[in-house]
């Protein structure tokens, strides 16, 4: 991220957060358009809802210190990828890869890296698909490429992750062993639920197509 010269006299923190906030708006708009296009073409809504957030100053400082880095704006820009975050919640696991592919195909979105915690879950059972991308924010002096982290997960995965997050911060990362075991068991149940719901949806769609075919014969 190269801050324009005309912004150098302004407070750097305000400028940087303005850029991250603008990137959230830009990505949000893209995702909404892609979702609406999919509804228009296929009469199917792959996205249930979208959440966005900017990391708080306190969280940024804690993460830099935890990583052993000096608390500076250049370090924040270079080493943190989740200051601007978008979470996309969808119904089925298959939708996750579809949405990720649609985002990656956008000509002005550059995918920096991907972490697929669905194919390779974390040891505690965490599942989600993470993309870190850059998107240009067009200012009066030209574009500024700004990082955004996109997390894509199912409703069930999001419910599990929300509970895990609460437990992690409640115990500051040192939850009792039995809670960790219960969480892992819940993650396995979430996996089974996602698979069952996908199978059920496939069955519903198949019946719908058969009924449509029968009506066309009449």
Positions marked catalytic: 149
CA distances for 209 relative to 19, 175, 213, 216, 217, angstroms: 47, 49, 6, 11, 13
Q: Can you tell me the distance from the alpha carbon of 111 to that of 206, in angstroms, rounded to the nearest whole number? A: 35
Q: Of 113, 116, 112, which Cα lies nearest the Cα of 127?
A: 116
The two structure tokens encoding residue 68: 């052993």
Contact 24, 87 (CB under 8 A): no
First to last CA, the chain: 62
The two structure tokens encoding residue 166: 């609460």
What is the Cα gyration radius of the chain? 21
Contact 102, 34 (CB under 8 A): yes
């Amino acid at each position: 991220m190269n801050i324009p010269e005309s912004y150098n006299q302004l407070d750097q923190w305000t400028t940087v957060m303005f850029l991250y906030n603008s990137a959230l708006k830009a990505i949000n708009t893209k995702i909404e358009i892609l979702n609406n296009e999919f509804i228009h073409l296929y009469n199917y809504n792959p996205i249930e809802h979208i959440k966005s957030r900017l990391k708080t100053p306190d969280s940024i400082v804690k993460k830099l210190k935890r990583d052993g880095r000096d608390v500076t704006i250049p370090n924040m820009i270079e080493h943190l990828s989740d200051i601007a975050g978008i979470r996309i919640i969808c119904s089925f696991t298959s939708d996750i890869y579809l949405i990720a592919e649609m985002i990656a195909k956008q000509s002005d979105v550059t995918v920096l890296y991907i972490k697929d915690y669905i194919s390779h879950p974390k040891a505690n059972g965490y599942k989600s698909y993470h993309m870190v991308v850059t998107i240009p924010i067009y200012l009066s002096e030209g574009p500024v490429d700004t990082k955004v982290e996109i997390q894509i997960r199912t409703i069930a995965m999001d419910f599990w992750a929300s509970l895990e997050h609460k437990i992690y911060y409640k115990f500051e990362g040192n939850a009792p062993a039995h809670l960790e075991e219960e969480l892992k068991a819940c993650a396995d149940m979430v996996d089974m639920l996602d698979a069952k719901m996908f199978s059920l949806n496939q069955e519903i769609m198949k019946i719908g197509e058969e009924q449509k075919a029968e009506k066309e014969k009449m």
